[in-house]
Amino acid sequence: MSSPVSGGPGLPQQRRLVTAVPGPESAARFARKKAYVADGVSTALPVFVAAAGGGVLLDVDGNSLIDLGSGIAVTTVGNAAPEVVRRVQEQVAAFTHTCFMVTPYDGYVDVCETLADLTPGDHAKKSALLNSGAEAVENAVKIARSATGRDAVAVFDHAYHGRTNLTMAMTAKNMPYKHRFGPFAGEVYRAPMSYPLRDGMSGEDAAARAIDVLDKQVGAENLAAVAIEPIQGEGGFIVPAEGFLPALAEWTRANGIVLIADEIQSGFCRTGTWFACDHEGVVPDLITTAKGIAGGMPLAAVTGRAELMDSVHVGGLGGTYGGNPVACAAALGAIEEMRRHDLPGRATAIGELIRSRLLDLADRHPVIADVRGRGAMMAIELCQPGTVTPDAARAAAVSSYCHQQGVVTLTCGTWGNVFRFLPPLSISDDLLHEAFDVVAAGFDATA
């Protein structure tokens, strides 16, 4: 086992293949993985990483791969971003843990104050810090139930909220997330999502359809919360039609239902604004964040209206590690990077570059049924030409081509037929163009 190599933006920003992908060193490590790591924990690429930064991952064979995945929307500020590294090193040398519930420290409160400032709405807000996205969603539901005295929770088709028991119930897709893992938590109800490619409905009509299902099948007065990803992540980077989210927000407000925006994947500059809700001025009652919040360190949060957050009895929220001081230092460093480098603006520019490349590609390849997304959260959905019949095999073939050519791409979607592009915002335009040249060659090679 080799010692760590320095990563960060100083790594040469290039795609460079010195072996096949995976190379012999990765292959040897993958055999160890197979021996000691549970098979249920899968990997998108059998490539072991030695260092990362800017827009590249350096593997143990010396290959430099272009990163279009950010570790699933986590390293928004780039891997080993300077301000994250600096603050983490300072914090880890001072103290690593006290448990905020035993003896508190400034970093936790600093993160909560920053979240109050950055999240949508200018009302009084408070936060609780947790370890993972799923834990944040669980806590948001606990808070909504405590605040309303109601049980039911509404979620949407194609939703992804996590892998714990309650969040599995909230997640839509069976395979691989739920298969043989039931029984699931009760009082979770599913409504139809706005999916412009597949329903062709206006946002208002799609919201009316969802509200009608919830009204008739659950009853507004029984609903504690409606939880929604403003742009769905794992479900296929589905951007609801304009007007859908505002109409839903109006209905929840009128009926005393807590609106939970799950911005775990879409938040923290990813879509060109601090949060995806900001595009339509939607102000959720509670917002869950994780992933991009802390530059790669595990941290998550529920942030929301102070009176809702404070409806929970003293001692009702928390956990041993939630808001760990090192993770909080990383978050403060990541947010500093976002502000200093105007990363919402950079995400918008990246989105324009990617969109133009994808529209070009869609002109030449009728298998691309849709180009969608916002900012640096872009996707294409692949279908049999002229239909909306999913073509997952083609998505897998192009993805595998990209991996072999040194571009880390991810797929997603209920049918596995969506290519999603979510590079770190520290990537250069040159690397992005090179990556999309490879993606384009992948479509040509598999035509």
Q: Which residues bind ligand PMP (CB under 6 A)?
A: 72, 132-134, 137, 160-162, 229, 233-234, 262, 264-265, 290
CB of 124 to ligand PMP, least distance (A): 25
Cα–Cα distance measured from residue 277 to residue 119, given in angstroms and rounded to the nearest whole number: 9
User: Residue 342: which residues within 8 A CB-CB, separation 6 or more?
Assistant: none
CB of 159 to ligand PMP, least distance (A): 8
CB of 209 to ligand PMP, least distance (A): 22
Q: Which neighbouring-strand residues pair with 411? A: 419
CB of 64 to ligand PMP, least distance (A): 26
Q: Which is nearer to ligand PMP, 234 or 370 (CB)?
A: 234
Q: Which neighbouring-strand residues pair with 311? A: none
CB of 233 to ligand PMP, least distance (A): 4
Q: Which neighbouring-strand residues pair with 16? A: 64
For the beta sheet containing 125-130, the strands, ordered from the edge strand earlier in sequence to the opposite edge, are: 125-130, 300-305, 286-289, 258-262, 223-228, 152-156, 188-191
Q: Which is nearer to ligand PMP, 72 or 99 (CB)?
A: 72
Q: Which is nearer to ligand PMP, 23 or 133 (CB)?
A: 133
Q: Tokens 């072999």 correspond to what residue?
A: 404
Q: Which is nearer to ligand PMP, 133 or 322 (CB)?
A: 133
SS3 206: helix
Q: Tokens 């009702």 correspond to what residue?
A: 316
E-strand spans in 185-234? 188-191, 223-228
CB of 211 to ligand PMP, least distance (A): 22
Q: Which is nearer to ligand PMP, 422 or 435 (CB)?
A: 422
CB of 167 to ligand PMP, least distance (A): 7
CB of 241 to ligand PMP, least distance (A): 19
Cα–Cα distance measured from residue 53 to residue 62, given in angstroms and rounded to the nearest whole number: 14
CB of 265 to ligand PMP, least distance (A): 4
Q: Is residue 300 within 8 Å of 136, Cβ to Cβ?
A: yes
Other CB atoms within 10 A of residue 311 CB: 17
CB of 264 to ligand PMP, least distance (A): 4
Cα–Cα distance measured from residue 434 to residue 411, given in angstroms and rounded to the nearest whole number: 19
Q: Which is nearer to ligand PMP, 143 or 383 (CB)?
A: 143
Q: Is residue 65 within 8 Å of 406, Cβ to Cβ?
A: yes
Q: Which is nearer to ligand PMP, 133 or 424 (CB)?
A: 133
Q: Which is nearer to ligand PMP, 161 or 190 (CB)?
A: 161
Q: Which residues of 192-217 are buried (b: 16+ CB within 10 A; e: fewer)?
A: bbbbbebeebbbebbbbbbbeebeee
218-222 LR contacts (CB < 8 Å, sep 24+): 218/152, 218/154, 218/189, 219/152, 220/251, 220/255, 220/257, 221/150, 221/255, 221/256, 222/150, 222/151, 222/152
Cα–Cα distance measured from residue 193 to residue 373, given in angstroms and rounded to the nearest whole number: 16
Peptide bond before residue 22 is cis, with ω within 30 degrees of 0: yes
By the 10 Å C-beta count (0-12 exposed, 13-18 middle, 19+ buried), 142 is classed as middle
Q: Which is nearer to ligand PMP, 174 or 389 (CB)?
A: 174
CB of 5 to ligand PMP, least distance (A): 26
Q: Which is nearer to ligand PMP, 265 or 426 (CB)?
A: 265
Residue with the CB atom nearest ligand PMP in the bound state: 133
CB of 229 to ligand PMP, least distance (A): 5
Amino acid, res. 368: I
Q: Which is nearer to ligand PMP, 157 or 262 (CB)?
A: 262
* Alpha-carbon 145 to chain mean position: 25
